[in-house]
Structure 1
Amino acid sequence: ILVLTYPIIGNYGVPAEDEIDPHGVLKHFEWTEGITLAGLVVGEICETPSHWRQTKTLSKWMEEQGVPGISNIDTRSLTKKIRENGTVLGRIVQGNLKIPLNISNYKFSDPNERNLVAECSVKKVQNYNPNAKLRICAIDCGLKLNQIRCFLSRDVGVDLVPWNAKLDVQKYDGLFLSNGPGDPVMCKETIKEIRRWLKECDKPVFGICLGHQLLSSAIGCKTYKMKYGNRGHNLPCIHHGTGRCFMTSQNHGFAVDVSTLPPDWEPLFTNANDKTNEGIIHKEKPYFSVQFHPEHTAGPQDLEILFDAFLEVVKNHKMKNISETNIKRKLIEKLSYTPKPGSIPEIKPRKVLILGSGGLSIGQAGEFDYSWITSYKALKEDKIQTILINPNIATVQTSKGLADKVYFLPLTREYVEQVIKSERPNGVLLTFGGQTALNCGVELEKAGIFKKYNVKILGTPIQSIIETEDRKIFAERIAEIGEEVAPSRAVFSVTEALKAAEILGYPVMARAAFSLGGLGSGFASNKNELMTLAEQALAHSNQLIIDKS
Structure 2
Amino acid sequence: GYPESLTDPSYCEQILVLTYPLIGNYGGPSNEKDEHDIPRWFESHKIWAAGLVVSELCDTPSHWRQTKSLSDWMKQEGIPGIQKVDTRALTKVIREKGTILGRIVHTLPDNVTSLPLIVDPNTQNLVAKVSRTSKTTYNPKGSPRICVVDCGLKYNQIRNLISRGARVDVVPWNHKIQNEQYDGLFLSNGPGDPSMCKETLDNLKTILSSSSKKPIFGICLGHQLLSLAAGCKSYKMSYGNRGHNQPALHHGTKRCYMTSQNHGFAIDATSLPKDWEALFTNANDDSNEGIVHSALPYFSVQFHPEHTAGPEDLECLFDVFLETVKDSVTGKPGLTIKDRLQETLKYVPEVPVVVERPKKVLILGSGGLSIGQAGEFDYSGSQAIKALREENIQTVLINPNIATVQTSKGMADKVYFLPILPDYVEQVIQSERPDGVLLTFGGQTALNCGVQLVKQGTFAKYGVKILGTPIESIIETEDRKLFAERVNEIGEKVAPSCAVYSIQEALEAAEKLGYPVMARAAFSLGGLGSGFANTKDELKALAQQALAHSSQLIIDK
What's the TM-score, normalizing by structure 2? 0.89
Contact 2:135-2:171 within 8 A present in 1 as well: yes
Verify: 1:112 aligned to 2:125, yes or no: no
Match of 2:10 in 1: none
Match of 1:308 in 2: 319
Contact 2:364-2:446 within 8 A present in 1 as well: yes
Structure 1 residues 364 and 476 mapped into 2: Cα distance closer, same or farther (>3 Å)?
closer
Shift of 1:390: 1.5
Contact 2:488-2:494 within 8 A present in 1 as well: no
- Counterpart selection for 1:7 from 21, 38, 44: 21
Equivalent positions of 1:1-400 (< 5 A) are: 1-11=15-25, 13-14=26-27, 16-31=29-44, 33-95=45-107, 98=110, 102-167=112-177, 171-200=181-210, 201-322=212-333, 324-341=334-351, 343-345=353-355, 347-360=356-369, 365-400=374-409
Verify: 1:438 aligned to 2:447, yes or no: yes
Letter of the 1:293 partner, please give it.
Answer: H
Letter of the 2:361 partner, please give it.
Answer: V
Structure 1 residues 363 and 458 mapped into 2: Cα distance closer, same or farther (>3 Å)?
closer
Distance 1:422 1:477 in 2: 38
Match of 1:496 in 2: 509
Q: What SS does the corresponding residue of 1:218 show, helix, strand or coil?
A: helix
Shift of 1:229: 0.3
Q: What SS does the corresponding residue of 1:302 show, helix, strand or coil?
A: coil
Contact 1:351-1:426 within 8 A present in 2 as well: yes
Match of 2:411 in 1: 402
Shift of 1:103: 4.2
Structure 1 residues 532 and 58 mapped into 2: Cα distance closer, same or farther (>3 Å)?
farther
Tell me which moved more, 247-256 or 40-49: 40-49
Contact 2:480-2:499 within 8 A present in 1 as well: no
Shift of 1:351: 0.8
What's the TM-score, normalizing by structure 1? 0.90
Distance 1:482 1:296 in 2: 20
Tell me which moved more, 230-239 or 538-547: 538-547
Shift of 1:141: 1.5
Structure 1 residues 49 and 248 mapped into 2: Cα distance closer, same or farther (>3 Å)?
same
Structure 1 residues 192 and 17 mapped into 2: Cα distance closer, same or farther (>3 Å)?
farther
Contact 1:362-1:395 within 8 A present in 2 as well: no
Matched length: 536
Structure 1 residues 295 and 95 mapped into 2: Cα distance closer, same or farther (>3 Å)?
same
Shift of 1:168: 5.6
Distance 1:110 1:141 in 2: 19
Distance 1:156 1:280 in 2: 24
Tell me which moved more, 199-208 or 354-363: 354-363
Unaligned runs of 5+ in 1: none
Distance 1:108 1:532 in 2: 62
Structure 1 residues 96 and 209 mapped into 2: Cα distance closer, same or farther (>3 Å)?
closer
Match of 2:437 in 1: 428
Q: What SS does the corresponding residue of 1:284 show, helix, strand or coil?
A: coil
Letter of the 1:441 partner, please give it.
Answer: G
Shift of 1:514: 2.1
Structure 1 residues 418 and 28 mapped into 2: Cα distance closer, same or farther (>3 Å)?
farther
Contact 2:27-2:62 within 8 A present in 1 as well: no
Distance 2:359 2:169 in 1: 57
Q: CA-to-partner distance for each residue in 1:334-383, whole Å, 9 max, x for gaps?
A: 222233436444x2111111112242259972222212233222211211
Tell me which moved more, 279-288 or 409-418: 409-418
Letter of the 1:445 partner, please give it.
Answer: V
Structure 1 residues 284 and 298 mapped into 2: Cα distance closer, same or farther (>3 Å)?
same
Q: What SS does the corresponding residue of 1:171 show, helix, strand or coil?
A: coil
Structure 1 residues 182 and 376 mapped into 2: Cα distance closer, same or farther (>3 Å)?
same
Letter of the 2:105 partner, please give it.
Answer: V
Structure 1 residues 50 and 370 mapped into 2: Cα distance closer, same or farther (>3 Å)?
farther
Q: What SS does the corresponding residue of 1:354 show, helix, strand or coil?
A: strand
Match of 2:9 in 1: none
Match of 1:460 in 2: 469
Shift of 1:29: 2.5
Tell me which moved more, 83-92 or 490-499: 490-499
Q: CA-to-partner distance for each residue in 1:467-504, whole Å, 9 max, x for gaps?
A: 22233433443344445x574534531442465354xx
Distance 1:479 1:153 in 2: 23
